[in-house]
Amino acid sequence: MPIHPLYGHEGVRNRLAGAFASGRLPQALLLEGPAGVGKQRLGLWLAQLLLCDAPVAGGREPCGACRSCRLVLSLSHPDLHWFVPIELGKRGGDADKQVELVETALGEEMAARREKPLYEPTSGLAGHAIASVRLLLRRLALTPAIGRRKVAIIGDAERLIPQQGQEAAANALLKVLEEPPADAQLVLTASEPEALLPTILSRVVRVRLARLPDTIVTAFVQKELGVAEESIVEQQVRSADGIPGRVLAVTGDRPGADAAAGEFLSAARGAGVGRYELALRQMPFQARGGFTAMLDALLARLRAEARAAGTPSRKLTEAIARVFEAREQAQGNVNPQLLAAVLSDDLAGV
Ligand SMILES: [Zn+2]
């Protein structure tokens, strides 16, 4: 399945394309902006433009039809190297073995993204280990396979993990950022650029991506997620707040989310300590997406109850408002366990 089209960011696209057309595109770029705003997707767009055989619109847009474009859009272009943070389960082995493990894990991740192009935020446990850096350096040393250049995207670059005793690879990365091979383009992305090492920051040209206007998020929700019901579109656009990726974080695993919501609701309504146990089960890392999905399912259940009641009680109306509030807080850095505990108290009397 091809990846979804890029939404918005026209100003940045124009600037980058203009710089490329005039041969002034900096070879090491850092795209920064909120998580989910489309930084890596923009990186892929730039890769497509740079690898395209016949760009259109005065060289400012990839044609979308040539072999290179099709290969980029299906994440299969041999000169596109997309590095995303990965979870490396077992450690050990020598450096070469580690690189092999990273290569396999990245291959699996790309296969998953070809299958399901709209991906959820990366798990908090994933990172770019030094073996990823080694793999990157190896690939940058290769001659381009079918094009004139190669493009490397390093997503969530703030997850580059410095490792003791591996300074040589880290220094090699800095050297490559400072002076990339003539046929290489590097695109780093970060939602927390300040978390990057200053030695990296000083070697890249920073490009800021802003939130998207609601009209564009609306188009994204309707066309890419296939949401037709106006009230749901509105709710998703509101909670996205200019960041389409936020909608994705809550759409996965609907059946599981609904079951979790039912469990949460009956525990909150029941007496005693059961509800705190339930709150503690909200995992802080990977389940953040799961937690927001559960809150969405909870909202749906309470709204259905309100509809069924005809005239919902004041308590029920308040409960809906509380869950909605929690849903908004869950987007931020609030601890899901804490949020769940407070919410279960709010819902206790409903
Ligand atoms: Zn093309």
196-206 residue pLDDT tens: 888 899 999 99
Q: Is the pLDDT of residue 15 over 60?
A: yes
For residue 66, the CA-to-ligand 1 centroid distance in Å is: 4
330: Cβ–Cβ under 8 A, 6 or more apart, which residues? 288, 291, 292, 295, 336, 339
For residue 225, the CA-to-ligand 1 centroid distance in Å is: 26
For residue 39, the CA-to-ligand 1 centroid distance in Å is: 21
Residues by chain with Cβ below 5 Å of ion ligand 1: 52, 62-63, 66, 69
Choose between 321 and 187: higher pLDDT.
187
For residue 318, the CA-to-ligand 1 centroid distance in Å is: 54
- Give the model's pLDDT for residue 183: 97
Whether 80 and 74 have beta carbons less than 8 Å apart is answered as: no
pLDDT digits (tens, 9 = 90+) for 59-105: 999 999 999 999 999 999 999 999 999 877 656 678 889 899 999 99
- Give the model's pLDDT for residue 282: 59
What would the mean pLDDT of 159-165 be, rounded to a whole number?
Answer: 75
Q: State how far the alpha carbon of 138 is from the alpha carbons of 65, 96, 114, 132, 194, in Å.
A: 30, 11, 24, 10, 27
- At 168, the pLDDT band (50, 70, 90 cuts) reads confident
Whether 85 and 127 have beta carbons less than 8 Å apart is answered as: yes
Query: Which of 108-117, 198-207, 220-229, 293-302 has the highest average model confidence (pLDDT)?
Result: 198-207
For residue 62, the CA-to-ligand 1 centroid distance in Å is: 5
For residue 164, the CA-to-ligand 1 centroid distance in Å is: 43
**What percentage of the chain has pLDDT greater than the value 70?**
89
- Give the model's pLDDT for residue 285: 38
Three-state SS at 156: coil
- Give the model's pLDDT for residue 286: 42
For residue 147, the CA-to-ligand 1 centroid distance in Å is: 12
For residue 5, the CA-to-ligand 1 centroid distance in Å is: 14
For residue 49, the CA-to-ligand 1 centroid distance in Å is: 7
For residue 120, the CA-to-ligand 1 centroid distance in Å is: 28
For residue 105, the CA-to-ligand 1 centroid distance in Å is: 29
For residue 85, the CA-to-ligand 1 centroid distance in Å is: 28
For residue 82, the CA-to-ligand 1 centroid distance in Å is: 19
- Give the model's pLDDT for residue 122: 75
For residue 65, the CA-to-ligand 1 centroid distance in Å is: 5
For residue 26, the CA-to-ligand 1 centroid distance in Å is: 21
pTM of the model: 0.72
CA separation for the pair 129, 134 (Å, rounded): 9
User: How are beta strands 80-83 and 150-154 bridged, if at all?
Assistant: parallel
